[in-house]
Amino acid sequence: MDIERLREQTRFEPTEVEPRTVERWLASGLFHPRPGESGEGAYSIAIPPPNVTGTLHMGHALNGSIQDVLIRYHRMRGLNTKWILGTDHAGIATQMQVEKALAAEGLSRRELGREAFVERVWDWRSHYGGQIVEQFKRLGASCDYSEERFTLDDGYARAVAQVFVALYEKGYIYRDRYIVNWDPGTRSAISDLEVEEREETDTLYSIVYDLEGGGTVTIATVRPETMLADTAVAVNPHDERYKDLVGRTAILPLVGRHLPVIADEYVKTDFGTGQLKITPAHDPNDFEIGRRHGLDQVSVIGEDGRMTAEAGERFAGLTVLEAREAVVAALESEGRVTARDPYLHSVPYSHRSGQRIEPLISLQWFMKMDELAAPAIAAVRDGSVRIVPENHRKVYLDWMAEIRPWCISRQLWWGHRLPVYYCESCRAVHVAVSPPQSCPACGGPVYQDEDVLDTWFSSALWPFATLGWPEQTPELGAFYPTDVLSTARDILFLWVARMIMMGIEFTGRPPFREVYIHSVIQAPDGRRMSKSLGTGIDPLKEIGKHGADAVRFGLLAMSSTQDVRYSAKKVQQGQALANKLYNAARFALLRIAEQPGVELSELAGEPRPQTVEDRWILSRLQAIKAEFAARIEVYDFSHAALCLYDFVYGELCDWYIELVKPRLDLDGSAAPQQRRALSETLLHVMRQTVALAHPVIPFVTEELWGYLGGQGLLAGGTWPQAQDDLRDPEAEQEVARAIEAITLLRGWRDSVNAKAGLIVPARIAAEGYDDTATLVARLARLELVSRNGAHAERSVVAAVPVPGGAVEVLGAEGLDLDAAQRRRDAERERLQSEIARSQAKLANEQFVAKAPAEVVEAERAKLERLRAEIEAV
């Protein structure tokens, strides 16, 4: 590497370095493992496939950073590591985007026809799809880009069909007329999980129905238009007021239908009058009551969101809201509306189209979940799938315990079409992977079901369908099950739970050992980050401004076990770290290069400690390696990132480099062996630091690895594990003591207004500085005076307490001694109060008797230390 370039370039420039570093990584083939390549075992992660139409948002950037840290760390640990990449066809989302584009041309999908429309979507995908994969590269994500999957690829589609057929044959998949969440926006049924409840205030109307044979009931409803479909009136069986009503008949106003009065536990006695209209075709709860009591189902709202002929001539064709007004007006004219009250309740909306859900009865395909859920519950309960953080475990188990059938058919065109065929002649139903040419029963012509599967049905197969299942491929053998699934919690039910169920059902094993649920990054003001709110922050823009390393570090550092606000400061901290590391390496290399008799290319980069600070940094390096590894193992990315920062700033740069500077001077006074040894040690420390930080900030570390003379690409290098033989508690203690003393002395200097450059004559009257006295003196800007040397006869003008005693200052030139006196008084006061506190504690018999011995002992030692310090002042 060109050392001259390094000399001139005083800052790390991510926009210059990062793109070319990505190219080097991609060209290396490091990200594409071959099955069974490493004897150390395999490590794999299946990426949550982003929507093919999507672009990178903060959630992707965070999850990409998390997964890449895990992938790079394990790759460097020698495991055969694969990050499975791909995109999701995202049925509704993609179809809606293309429909929007068509609308701009004045076209609709129905005008185009199914085949042409689907072709348009494929075209659209090839033009605009997959951008996000390029964006993952820019982030530095080390996915296996050479094997990108798509959930609608041929092989994947075969896996989907095979799963459908198998589940159908087991009786888990069935067709039913059932109440579903109808989304008038997409004109499709959607699953319970795609429905979002919103609090809204509506008018609660009280309406009087006559009873046959005299009397009335009064029902309360926010949806008077659905009364046209009422088929019963219900009261609670324990409601004493209405005991006599049960079994009588009410007359439905406007329609005249006879409604039985039934008793059902569902009815709340304290809501409204305690009398409830039952509309099985337009309310999920009423539907269940209807099934329990064998009530008729009358549908008055159609799939277009308008009233049907069943609603009667006066109302047919009206929208739901128009019908509501018309029905209320009609009831009013009969004097049946007795009250209107504002009422706050939750209203279902489609997560997909944003429109209000219309519950209605529809012929759909469903999947029974109970049998699949049982082993998926067991897997989490017995720990074969571990959910981190653990509190999500309970959320998962609670939801799984109450799992309901899943509506899997969608009235869309973009997606996996159901492998279901109907005979035109005999109406027989055939479910098969390969389409029958004619009806196997009667030979008649067959046609395929129009519906496609819910996107999540195919996503549920992701970890194994991407590896070639149902074929027993080498990839499947090597990389399944995957090690961890990292995701935000919003798709725990939609996706994660279903993957566990399908994985166990079809491969006999859960698809991953651990599920890591990461933070949701909110806008800085605490709102949701979203395009529509205008609160989104584009990770690529941030990468452009601060570099991918900075964004990765920032996101990891701000992440937590709960939701967090986006912190631009953390990203800047990451940028500062990259630059700091760059400059530390730059300093080390330039100084090594300038050492007479030392040649960088001849150095091995092995530790050759000669002094206490050498032993100290090597020991601290082992500690930080162990801590980083431990944090990664428990998915504590924020502390992993921050401990790197603290090490680089707080130990390597602020102290070690400052401590060794004089030993790297250029006047040639040091012996060549010593220069060489220090160069070795410094190079070792820099290489190790850069390697250990690589999973978090891969770009700057890869760049520096080249300058530092590392072998090959760092991305393919070895992660430096902690070496216990380099641990040195004594050196750690000695240098920690020196650091504390220097800090105290600097504080003292400031308080006596000593000019920054002033060298103060002083004497160390304290224990434990044998090896560090000159270091302390230099960094605290003292001139050490020996007992019988130059200034020895001068009197002590100040004593600065430091661990183990004090530093006595001799000579007052340039010092504000009044300030020194004030400082000394303040210090004495502080010590006095601490001593008093400590004494009081030890005088407390309860404390001495009940606190653990070591705590009492520590308190005694502390008191002794304080007394020594106050003595020294």
Query: Which residue's CB is nearer to RNA, number 151 or number 638?
Result: 638
For residues 731 to 760, the per-residue mask of contacts with RNA, x marking binding by CB under 7 A and - elsewhere, is ------------x--xx--xx----xx---
Query: Which residue's CB is nearer to RNA, number 476 or number 558?
Result: 558
> In the structure encoding, which two tokens stand for residue 375, read together?
């082993």
Counting contacts by CB under 7 A, is residue 422 touching RNA? no
For residues 389 to 408, the per-residue mask of contacts with RNA, x marking binding by CB under 7 A and - elsewhere, is --x--xx--xx---------
d(CA 861, CA 856): 9
The minimum distance between CB 266 and RNA, in angstroms, equals: 11
Closest to 574 in 3D by CA, of 644, 479, 470? 644
Q: Letter for the amino acid at 7?
A: R
For RNA, the binding residue among 560, 718, 774, 821 (CB under 7 A) is 560
Q: In what order do the strands lie in the sheet with 188-190?
A: 188-190, 173-183, 358-367, 406-407
d(CA 235, CA 263): 5
The SS3 assignment for 47 reads: coil
The minimum distance between CB 573 and RNA, in angstroms, equals: 4
Query: Contact at 8 Å (CB) between 62 and 179?
Result: no
For RNA, the binding residue among 206, 273, 583, 723 (CB under 7 A) is 583
For RNA, the binding residue among 661, 718, 790, 833 (CB under 7 A) is 661
d(CA 379, CA 377): 5
The minimum distance between CB 764 and RNA, in angstroms, equals: 18
d(CA 188, CA 183): 6
d(CA 763, CA 797): 11
> In the structure encoding, which two tokens stand for residue 684, read together?
């070792």
> In the structure encoding, which two tokens stand for residue 486, read together?
């990292």
Query: Which residue's CB is nearer to RNA, number 321 or number 858?
Result: 858
Q: Where are the beta strands (DSSP E) in 735-855?
A: 760-766, 782-784, 796-802, 805-810
Query: Which residue's CB is nearer to RNA, number 795 or number 846?
Result: 846
Query: Which residue's CB is nearer to RNA, number 490 or number 871?
Result: 490
The minimum distance between CB 294 and RNA, in angstroms, equals: 23
For RNA, the binding residue among 834, 839, 860, 868 (CB under 7 A) is 834
d(CA 457, CA 559): 30
Counting contacts by CB under 7 A, is residue 850 touching RNA? yes
**HSE toward the beta carbon, residue 294, CA cutoff 13 A:** 0
Query: Contact at 8 Å (CB) between 672 and 113?
Result: no
For RNA, the binding residue among 79, 372, 558, 715 (CB under 7 A) is 558
Give counts: helices (H), strands (E), the chain: 29, 28
Query: Contact at 8 Å (CB) between 650 and 620?
Result: no
Query: Contact at 8 Å (CB) between 18 and 116?
Result: no
Counting contacts by CB under 7 A, is residue 178 touching RNA? no
Query: Which residue's CB is nearer to RNA, number 358 or number 636?
Result: 636
DSSP label at residue 667:
S
The minimum distance between CB 214 and RNA, in angstroms, equals: 37
The minimum distance between CB 275 and RNA, in angstroms, equals: 21
d(CA 143, CA 85): 6
For RNA, the binding residue among 363, 590, 604, 790 (CB under 7 A) is 590
| # of chain residues touching RNA (CB under 7 A) | 70
| Contacts (CB under 7 A) with RNA, residues 329-358 | 346
Counting contacts by CB under 7 A, is residue 855 touching RNA? yes
Q: How far apart are the first and last CA of the chain?
A: 54
Q: What share of the chain is helix, strand, coil (3-state, %, to 5)?
A: 45, 20, 35
Identify any residues that bridge with 356 across adjacent strands, giving them in sequence order: 349
| Contacts (CB under 7 A) with RNA, residues 507-536 | 524, 526, 528
d(CA 115, CA 113): 6
Residues in contact with 495: Cβ distance below 8 Å, sequence separation at least 6, in sequence order: 48, 456, 459, 460, 487
Q: For the packed helices 548-558 and 14-28, what is the interaxial angle rounded to 10 degrees?
A: 90
CA distances from 866 to 291, 519, 551, 708 (A): 80, 45, 45, 47
The minimum distance between CB 844 and RNA, in angstroms, equals: 5
Region near RNA per CB under 7 A, out of 35-43, 407-415, 475-483, 651-659: 651-659
Query: Which residue's CB is nearer to RNA, number 149 or number 675?
Result: 675
Region near RNA per CB under 7 A, out of 82-90, 114-122, 448-456, 857-865: 857-865
For RNA, the binding residue among 128, 145, 343, 847 (CB under 7 A) is 847
User: Which single residue is written with the structure tokens 């990062």?
Assistant: 18
The minimum distance between CB 586 and RNA, in angstroms, equals: 5
For RNA, the binding residue among 123, 134, 197, 471 (CB under 7 A) is 197
The minimum distance between CB 849 and RNA, in angstroms, equals: 7
Would you call 102 exposed, middle or buried from its count of C-beta atoms within 10 A (0-12, 13-18, 19+)?
middle
The minimum distance between CB 634 and RNA, in angstroms, equals: 11
Q: Where does 717-816 have alpha helices with state H?
A: 729-751, 773-779
For RNA, the binding residue among 586, 675, 687, 694 (CB under 7 A) is 586
Query: Contact at 8 Å (CB) between 189 and 409?
Result: yes
d(CA 277, CA 259): 9
The minimum distance between CB 334 and RNA, in angstroms, equals: 34
| Contacts (CB under 7 A) with RNA, residues 561-580 | 561-565, 567, 569-570, 572-573, 575-576, 578-580
Query: Which residue's CB is nearer to RNA, number 28 or number 560?
Result: 560
Counting contacts by CB under 7 A, is residue 851 touching RNA? yes
Residue 857 has a CB neighbour count (10 Å cut-off) of 11
Query: Which residue's CB is nearer to RNA, number 77 or number 351?
Result: 351
The minimum distance between CB 223 and RNA, in angstroms, equals: 18
Q: Where does 538-636 have alpha helices with state H?
A: 539-546, 548-558, 568-594, 612-633
Counting contacts by CB under 7 A, is residue 192 touching RNA? yes
Query: Which residue's CB is nearer to RNA, number 433 or number 537?
Result: 537
Query: Which residue's CB is nearer to RNA, number 316 or number 492?
Result: 492
CA 218 to chain centre: 51
d(CA 108, CA 507): 42
Counting contacts by CB under 7 A, is residue 145 touching RNA? no
Closest to 761 in 3D by CA, of 786, 790, 782, 792? 782
Counting contacts by CB under 7 A, is residue 812 touching RNA? no
Region near RNA per CB under 7 A, out of 105-113, 416-424, 813-821, 843-851: 843-851
Closest to 485 in 3D by CA, of 476, 472, 475, 495? 495
The minimum distance between CB 10 and RNA, in angstroms, equals: 4
Region near RNA per CB under 7 A, out of 124-132, 297-305, 496-504, 635-643: 635-643
Query: Which residue's CB is nearer to RNA, number 203 or number 561?
Result: 561
Counting contacts by CB under 7 A, is residue 11 touching RNA? yes
For residues 475 to 494, the per-residue mask of contacts with RNA, x marking binding by CB under 7 A and - elsewhere, is ---------------x--x-
Counting contacts by CB under 7 A, is residue 833 touching RNA? no
The minimum distance between CB 537 and RNA, in angstroms, equals: 14
The minimum distance between CB 558 and RNA, in angstroms, equals: 6
Q: Which residues of this chain interact with RNA, rule CB under 7 A?
A: 10-13, 192-193, 197, 346, 391, 394-395, 398-399, 490, 493, 524, 526, 528, 558, 560-565, 567, 569-570, 572-573, 575-576, 578-580, 583-584, 586-587, 590-591, 638-639, 642, 649, 653-654, 657-658, 661, 743, 746-747, 750-751, 756-757, 834, 838, 844, 846-847, 850-852, 855, 858-859, 862, 866
